[in-house]
Structure formats: C-alpha cells, structure tokens
Structure 1
Amino acid sequence: MNILEYVSDRWDRLSLQALLHVSAVVQCTILAAVIGVLIGVAVYRSPVGSALATALASTILTVPSFALLGLLIPVLGLGADTTVVALVLYALLPIVRNTIVGLGGVDPAISDAAKGIGMSRFGVLTRVELRLAWPAILAGMRVATQMLMGIAVIAAYAKGPGLGSEVFSGLSNAGSANSLNQAITGTVGVVILALLLDGVYVLINRLTVSRGVRG
C-alpha cells in the first residue's frame, strides 16, 4: 500500500488527529501568551527581574522533552494535562523575552505624552505600550507555535493528542506493513500544519499591525 492509499483509507482518523494536534498547540500557545505577557509586564522595568524571568524560561527550554514528560507523568498522569503543562512551559521563553523587548523598546516620550493627556498608568500600559509591543509579542507567539508543533509530537509519549501517535506507532512497529506510511504521514502532516499556522500568523500580523509599525 502506498502512502496516498494509506491516507485515503484512514482519512477520518488522520483528520481528527490533525485537528487535535492544531487545537492543542493553539490553545497552549494562547495560554502561554497570557502567562508570558503578564510576566513580561511585571518585570520589564527591572533589569534584574527581566534577566531572572528570561533565565528561568530558558532553563525550562533546555530540559529535554522526554525528561520533562517523565517528570510530569507521575504528578499529572498520562493524557492531556501533562501535554498542556509541558507545551505551555516550552512556549514561555520566546513570549516572555519578546514581551520584555517589545515593552522595553517603547519610546519613553510616547508614554510620557500619554500620561500628559491624563491617562492612568494602566491606561498607558494597555492602550499605548502593549499596542506598540504587539508586533514583538506576536513574533514570540509565532516562534512558540512552530516549536510546539514539533514538541507536541513527542507528547504522544504521554498519550497526548495529535499526530504524534501516528509517528510513534510507525516507529514502534518498524518493519510492519504500514510502519513507514504511519511515520511519514505523521511527520509530513505536522510540517504541513506548521506551514498553515505560520500563514495564519502572517495574516494576523497584516490585520492587527499598522503599516507604519510594520515598516
């Protein structure tokens, strides 16, 4: 059986796995963005706090995926919970770092002008600084999403959702009739989904970032 026949015969299952893969990555990226932006807002004015937050997020990223999953499984068990925690932790670094860089790059004169017209500190942050930092934050989310597309494959080790189960099944059944088809289908599927999501980020960037800021 060639790979096209394999995909055609199992389209319903593969399409569901692809949907679950994308859903897990997108939801974890959004959750990591909320946490990462809050951390960035809390520390961006402090060089020590910024360095500490970035260092901690970097440390998490250096932990091998299998090792982190192995640490989480005894605590959270197999399944979605372990996958979500692992993916969110891995997504934090680019988002935290880009939030700090984006907010730190806002011209102080702009913030002072906003305060001069009567804006509160919260108003300046939400209506001026975060909007100007948005391109950097979005870039961090884009990087995080691409990272998580691959890491989510490894999360199948913890019975996480997505195309990783297809890859692992193919590798564990090496030599069987469809083992190669399984591994290739899962791998190529992840690559295609990653490219599609990257295209979505390009569209979001065009829709939410003004030409002046993009330029």
Structure 2
Amino acid sequence: MTPLQFQAKTAKGGASLLLWSSGLLLLWLLALAAFRELLPATAWAMLLLVCLIALVLAYARLTEPWLVLEATEQGLTFFHRKGNWVLPWQECGLVTVPELNGQELAYIGIRLKQQSPFLSRLSPRLAVALLMEQRNLLLSAVGQNCPTGQCPSAFFMETNPCHVEGKVYKGVIGMFGQRMQTLRQLIGFELYIPLNALSENPQIFCRTINQLRLQYSENTVT
C-alpha cells in the first residue's frame, strides 16, 4: 500500500505569510525614516507590533509539520511539532467526530482497543504538548457532564500514578494516561486530532480511516 498522507492545514501559507510580513516590516522602517512626524510614537509602536505578530505567525506555520497524519499497512502516524505518535491498526478502534449533548466537537476522536501499548510508545515531550492543547477540551467535557458545577475533583487530578491494564505509569506519561481515561469516560475516545489541523472533510477522512482500519486489522488486504 502506498502511504496515504493527509496534509496539515496549519502548515499552509507559511512562506507567503513570511514574505508578506517581512515586506510589511520593511515598509514600516521606510515610513518611519521618511514620515516620522506624521504619526505619534504610540501609533508607530502599534504598527511595529502588527509586523512582529505577523512574523511570529509566519514562523509558527513554517515550523508546523507538513503532514498531520499518515496511514500505512501498519497503522496510523500522527505528526506534531513536538514529535509523533504511532497507532497500529490492531490497537485502533472507531474513528469519528465525537459529540457532546448532540453537538459535534471540533476534533476527530480515536478510540483505543488498548491503552497501555500506546502509553509505552508515547514520548514525554509530545505528552506535555498534548496535555496543554487538550485542556480546553477537558474543561468543555467536564462542564457538559456536571451542569450543577460540582464536578468530581478526579477529573482534574492528573498527578497520581496511572494504572492501565496491569501497568503503572508515572510522571507526564501517567498524567496523559489519566487524561485519556477521563476523556474516554466523558466523551468516549482517548485520542483527539483538531479539525482545524486537517485539510480534508472530516466525514470523508473518518470514513477513509475506518475502512483502512477494518481492512488491515482483519488482514483482508494483502
């Protein structure tokens, strides 16, 4: 099977944005030298801030991986600027856009058949990044599941050792394991990919991945 690659939406336009922001900064320097007296210092400072923000955004896009996901005969590989995770087909369950109270979330959800093998492969650096990025998802899920505002504190306790399928995980990996268990309990999935990271239509993407999952996990394709 030729690897099926899904381009990262967040990586697009980085080069053009860098050129545009660099040109804007050059224009600001020329204007400041020629027309300094036309605007107060605060206005020049604000224009400079706009240029710098555009440069930072351009750099952020250029450092994003070109691919967000790759599917091969072996399984899925998710690419992130802090690393990547690998999920063999035999460990991959349903892939879909999850819902909370009838509302679709802005994520692709991946259900795991086993959690321990995934945690054993996950790098601490990537785990930290995903924990931070998924904080709002956790808050939304907890908020939907405790309308009275009196939520179990266990939802937010991610510092204790995590017991998964007979194994104990500590530190950052343990925290991520607890996060996976919490999200599985609240939403039904352990892994999440933001929709804004994908260039493809979410429904088509999920259907394609699920077809590959069924084919390769059942060894129906050679």
Give the TM-score of the pair, scaled to structure 2.
0.25
Higher strand share: 2
What TM-score comes out, normalization by structure 1 length?
Answer: 0.26
Structure with the largest fraction of helix = 1
Query: More relative contact order in 1 or in 2 (CA 8 Å, sep 6+)?
Result: 1
